[in-house]
Amino acid sequence: MIDAFSRVVRLGEGLAQTGRLSDAAMDRALAALHVCADKLRKRNVHLARSVATEACRRASNGQAFIDRVLAETGIHLNIITAQEEARLAVLGCHILLEQGSGPAMIFDIGGGSTEMVLVETGETVPRILDWQSVPWGVVSLTESIGPIADDPAARAAAYAEMRRRVDEGFAEFAQRVTPLRGSATGDGGGIRLLGTSGTVTTLASLHLALPQYDRRAVDGLVVPAEAMRDISRRLSAMSPAERVALPCIGRERSDLVVAGCAILESILDIWPARRLGIADRGIREGILRSLMSIGADPRAPRRPQGPTTNRTEAA
């Protein structure tokens, strides 16, 4: 990879209440996509695959936003299915799974949805055994709860409700995968779990006490799952001002990180690994790997558009 760009745009902000992408959210996303378009021009990129995820899948004006992006930036976004999103996330980060035998779990906490994917390793690319996507990401779950009073009791009640909603969403999946835990053994002992998202990379940064985010320190890190639970619970109990003051969180993520913590704790209940692998890679890298494996012939049927990728989602 020779260039990269990332910005939190909260494309799905307000979507739960209105069913539409708001003008402000679309403007933020377009501002970020203009930066992407400039990079594509400067790098002389002529073939690209660009994808949009849950926010555009759910919004009644999702296609109108896609059309506007094309008209204003020249970037053609493709709204992918939740299944394709899960597949690309696995393809992008599975190389960081700990060695072992039997099923392993990979998850991606997004802005508008969360995917859990049970995979069988041993081949070049893991085989997907089962998967589930729920419409709870850090933005959608935060907005579903609404404003939270700034006192400990209110924060505890809101966090418990977040946990309940995520548990409910994954209930059937949890029943299906629970019997498979016994056959999923990693070389480090116990079952294997790998997460890719801003939530897990942020919590890993706090675990390492980094003064600022450092991808080189986080990507590929393996941390005790109980340490991530402890951090999650501490963050959920903090006031907004306390979270803003923490390195690697700041104002941009201070409200969203609590929902991410609730989702993570639910995942750890479903697949109670002792260790959690951290990936600062996912769908973007999955697209790149898929393009590298098939080549970039634009004449090939149903082929992506080429070796450069963009992704727009609710966060």
d(CA 234, CA 228): 10
Separation in Å, CA 214 to CA 39, 206, 208, 221, 257? 23, 11, 10, 12, 18
Q: Are residues 89 and 162 in the same domain?
A: yes
Paired residues of 222 in beta bridges: 277
Length of the chain: 315
Residue 1, domain member (yes or no): no
User: Which CATH number goes with the domain that contains 231?
Assistant: 3.30.420.150
Residue 190, domain member (yes or no): yes
Those residues whose C-beta lies under 8 Å from the C-beta of residue 175, and which sit 6 or more positions away, are none
Q: Are residues 68 and 145 in the same domain?
A: no
Q: Are residues 241 and 306 in the same domain?
A: no
Q: Are residues 52 and 175 in the same domain?
A: no
> Is 80 exceeded by the pLDDT of residue 310?
no
Q: Are residues 55 and 109 in the same domain?
A: no
| Range from 2-6, 15-19, 112-116, 302-306 carrying the lowest mean pLDDT | 302-306
Name the pLDDT band for 295 (thresholds 50, 70, 90). low
Name the pLDDT band for 90 (thresholds 50, 70, 90). very high
Q: Please calculate the CA angle 60-64-66 and round it to the nearest 5 degrees.
A: 110
- Predicted TM-score (pTM) of the model is 0.86
Higher pLDDT, 15 or 309: 15
State the Cα torsion 63-65-68-70 to the nearest 10°: -70
Q: Are residues 22 and 106 in the same domain?
A: no
Looking at residue 94, its pLDDT comes to 92
User: Which CATH number goes with the domain that contains 303?
Assistant: 3.30.420.40
Mean pLDDT of the chain: 89
Q: Does the CA dihedral 108-202-232-272 come out positive or negative?
A: positive
Looking at residue 126, its pLDDT comes to 87
| Range from 21-30, 151-160, 177-186 carrying the lowest mean pLDDT | 177-186
Residue 27, domain member (yes or no): yes
pLDDT digits (tens, 9 = 90+) for 187-206: 666 899 999 989 999 999 99
Name the pLDDT band for 312 (thresholds 50, 70, 90). very low
Higher pLDDT, 237 or 4: 237
Residue 89, domain member (yes or no): yes
Task: Beginning with the edge strand found earlier in the chain, give each strand of the sheet holding 77-79 in spatial order.
Answer: 77-79, 48-52, 308-312
Residue 10, domain member (yes or no): no
Q: Taking residues 92-105, what's their average pLDDT? A: 90
Residue 5, domain member (yes or no): no
- Sole residue written with tokens 């609730």: 262
Let me know: does 200 contact 105? Beta carbons within 8 Å. no
Burial of 229 per CB tally in 10 Å (0-12, 13-18, 19+): middle
Q: How many domains does the chain have?
A: 2
Looking at residue 238, its pLDDT comes to 96
Of 94, 99, 32, the residue nearest 283 (C-alpha): 94
Q: Are residues 164 and 148 in the same domain?
A: yes
Q: Taking residues 98-119, what's their average pLDDT? A: 92
Q: What tokens were used for 82? A: 């939740």
Name the pLDDT band for 304 (thresholds 50, 70, 90). very low
Instruction: Show the domain range for 22.
Output: 15-79+284-312
Q: What tokens were used for 183? A: 């056959």
Beta strands per DSSP E along 96-249: 100-101, 103-109, 114-120, 127-134, 185-186, 193-196, 222-224
Q: Are residues 195 and 75 in the same domain?
A: no
Looking at residue 187, its pLDDT comes to 63
Q: Are residues 30 and 44 in the same domain?
A: yes
Q: Are residues 269 and 304 in the same domain?
A: no
Q: Taking residues 204-215, what's their average pLDDT? A: 94
Residue 2, domain member (yes or no): no
Q: What tokens were used for 85? A: 């999103």
- Sole residue written with tokens 């049927």: 301
Q: Are residues 57 and 128 in the same domain?
A: no
Q: Are residues 46 and 105 in the same domain?
A: no
Q: What tokens were used for 228? A: 């991530």
Beta strands per DSSP E along 147-283: 185-186, 193-196, 222-224, 275-279
Of 248, 207, 198, the residue nearest 228 (C-alpha): 207
Residue 167, domain member (yes or no): yes
> Is 80 exceeded by the pLDDT of residue 155?
yes
